[in-house]
Amino acid sequence: MKISELRIYAEVLEQGLDFKKYITKILPECSIKNIYTKKLRSEIVGSDSIIDRIRKVKDVDILLTSVCGNEEIPVLMVEYSTAVPADDHKLGKLCDKSLVGDVAYKKGIDQFVVDLSNLKQILDDDKDLRDNVIVAVSSSSNDGTSGIGNPSRPNANSDLTVIRDDLNYFADIIFSATESTIKYFLGEGPLSKEQVIHKYGRLKPCVHGCDAHKNSDIFAPNNNKYCWIKADCTFEGLKQIVYEPKERVKICDNYPERKRDYNVIDKITISDERFSPAPIVFNPKIQTMSPGKKALVLLKLLINLANSDCPILIDQPEDDLDNRSIYYELVDFLRQKKHDRQIIIVTHNANIVLGSDSEEIIVANQRGANSPNEIYRFEYRSGSIENNSIIKNNDGSIRNGILNQKGIQGHICEILEGGKEAFNVRKDKYTLV
């Protein structure tokens, strides 16, 4: 998704201009717009944008957003510490009456402890909230989980290891750029993948940020350990790293190694008046998958023995395969081989699309009584798996045509799973743990 503009919401003129100066150094070609605003004091209503909701519930000094197409997406919120609440001083003095000023304030702050069981209960009781929250926990030995119950730390209590493990289990994401920690939570360290899943519920992605404490450090991570995430620049895109912690995240100083160059089909144009004349454009080095039981063996032989860089086109490989073979043989094989060849597949099988981590999904629709198109008899919509955005006109109304009514994720569920209701019925039928 291409960013057309960055917007900086600020209450103070100097703060907005100062922040713009730092971002301009990093993104000199990007259009940056300063917007001076106060916190919105009215109640949240259903028609509010996510930006308005943030401004209504948060006293944010700086709110940085990106404009991608018709969407405005929050990117960064900054709050500057100013006044010290008197109650925090009082709480510190209750612990030690001799404390004054900043020392009393710090002691008071240290008394605030989040009850993990209460936090879990809040998220368990509100499914919508849980679906829109990503829990991240620091693994630092200073102020993170590694310092809890660590016998190497002074006055450590080994009984606290239960709390540490509980926090890591509760987390979706671990904040750490340490190689040993990354491997540990991916099951590539002292614990196997099965042991990590048993102990923490799933494999965990590790992410890393700039940990900035002043404006000049923003977008400059410690030790140049940049965090590269392969996903759409959306919340749904970020959630994908929870499900694919190894494939979607890399922490390194340079751009992660790309797949080697190979010949690709970059676009298709259909010369037929019944079809949209707009080309169907593929992402560079697109990744997708393919074959049928007998064809599966043949396909493996052909791909393994051939030195060609040409794309591979396969039509409905699931026709002769059961889903177990598709997932454990075909999908696994394609995840490995898509780095060497561009693979384009026509399929109605969810395991192929989702299990193989397709990087570009093209949804096709022929005009029908219950499936109208916007203009042409045949129309297409493409995007990533995590794309869940409807297409709107400039005035905010939803564009005509069934392909514009849902995001790519919605179409995948509708076409490959039979819709959300059908998916939930099957899920509820299973009693597997």
Residue 380: CB atoms within 10 Å: 19
By the 8 A CB rule, do 247 and 204 touch?
no
Q: What is the pLDDT of residue 263?
A: 58
Q: What is the pLDDT of residue 101?
A: 64
CA dist 281 and 346 (Å) reads 16
Q: What is the pLDDT of residue 430?
A: 80
Which is nearest to 28 in space by CA: 258, 215, 219?
219
By the 8 A CB rule, do 346 and 332 touch?
no
Residue 127, burial from CB neighbour count under 10 angstroms (0-12, 13-18, 19+): exposed
Structure tokens at 162: 């239960």
CA dist 359 and 199 (Å) reads 31
Per-residue pLDDT of the chain (433 residues; tens, 9 = 90+): 567 788 888 877 777 777 788 778 777 778 888 887 766 666 777 777 777 777 676 666 788 888 877 778 888 777 665 444 444 445 554 556 666 666 665 665 555 556 778 788 888 888 888 888 899 998 887 777 877 765 444 454 455 678 888 889 999 999 988 899 999 999 999 999 999 999 999 999 999 877 666 666 676 677 778 888 888 778 888 888 898 898 888 888 877 765 555 555 667 777 777 666 777 665 443 333 333 455 566 566 566 655 667 788 888 877 767 788 788 878 888 888 888 888 888 998 998 998 888 889 999 999 988 889 999 999 999 988 888 889 988 888 899 999 999 999 999 999 999 988 888 888 877 876 4
Q: What is the pLDDT of residue 400?
A: 92
CA dist 50 and 7 (Å) reads 14
Q: What is the pLDDT of residue 43?
A: 72
Sorted by where each starts, the structural domains of the chain and their CATH numbers stand as: 5-78 (no CATH), 83-112 (no CATH), 116-252 (no CATH), 267-429 (3.40.50)
Question: Alpha-carbon Rg of the chain, whole angstroms?
Answer: 25
Structure tokens at 169: 């289990």
Quickly list H helices, 171-221: 179-185, 193-200
Q: What is the pLDDT of residue 282?
A: 57
Q: What is the pLDDT of residue 286?
A: 34
Q: What is the pLDDT of residue 85?
A: 47
